[in-house]
Amino acid sequence: MTKQPTQQRARAKVRRILDTAKQLFLEGNYFEVTTNQIAREAGVSIGTLYTYFADKEAILAALLEEYDESFNDVFAHVDTQESFNLFRNDKKEWLGRLIDQLVNSEDRQFHLQIEMLARAVPAARQVQERHSERIKDLVHQCCLYYTNGGDVKNLKTLSTIIFDFTTALVDELLYTDHTSQERDRIRQSGIDSLTLIIERNIDQ
């Protein structure tokens, strides 16, 4: 952001610019949306927009930062002694909580936009990669705690498998139409399968 707003009116304008840009990005094609269009739809002058954002990429960067920060509560919750203890004592409950937190924290439409932009926009790809690495690292820490720091072969690989499986399960729950009964069954089957994978690899 070129300039940080300090007054309430200025913050309201910035919020309007960001919300308008996000909606335009979701409704159309990010690459075809212009700053003039954003300013017009937000009800501000183009000069006002440029007071706070150097260009369209800066607006996207601010939206990506907000998206990234929206997951801080999830990461903070997993990275606690209580979470490590739960993983050790009740892996199914730990997995269920993680899956529910990821589902509830996800901005469904904007996530899809990030998936699309990750191929062409470095900032979007970096957010995607940062989320992946943070969750994989936290899963790895839980596994290490579970084994008392023991030398378990391929523990990093196991963490990646758990992450990939969990991500696929969250995407299925978020983006595929299911009845509530189907959704519950898929969620539980995924948790049961993940628990088996963990137990077969570290309960030895």
pLDDT on residue 16: 96
**Closest among 98, 87, 9 to 52, alpha carbons compared:** 9
Instruction: List the domains of the chain with CATH numbers.
Output: 8-65 (1.10.10.60), 70-202 (1.10.357.10)
* pTM listed for this prediction: 0.82
Amino acid at 125: R
Reading the block at residue 156, the tokens are 């990093």
How far is residue 181's CA from residue 187's CA, in Å, rounded to a whole number?
A: 10
pLDDT on residue 151: 60
**Closest among 136, 126, 181, 133 to 161, alpha carbons compared:** 136
How far is residue 46's CA from residue 14's CA, in Å, rounded to a whole number?
A: 12
List, run by run, the mean pLDDT of 10-residue segments along the chain (204 residues): 76 95 93 96 96 94 90 87 92 94 90 89 90 88 80 79 93 94 97 92 70
Q: C-alpha distances in angstroms, 81 versus 17, 76, 85, 138, 146? A: 40, 11, 6, 12, 11
pLDDT on residue 2: 66
Q: C-alpha distances in angstroms, 21 versus 25, 61, 128? A: 6, 11, 20
- CA contacts within 13 A on the Cβ side of 97: 15
Chain centre to alpha carbon of residue 101: 10
pLDDT on residue 112: 87
Reading the block at residue 146, the tokens are 């579970």
- CA contacts within 13 A on the Cβ side of 121: 19
DSSP state at residue 120? T
Residues 6+ away with beta carbon under 8 Å from 140: 155, 156, 159
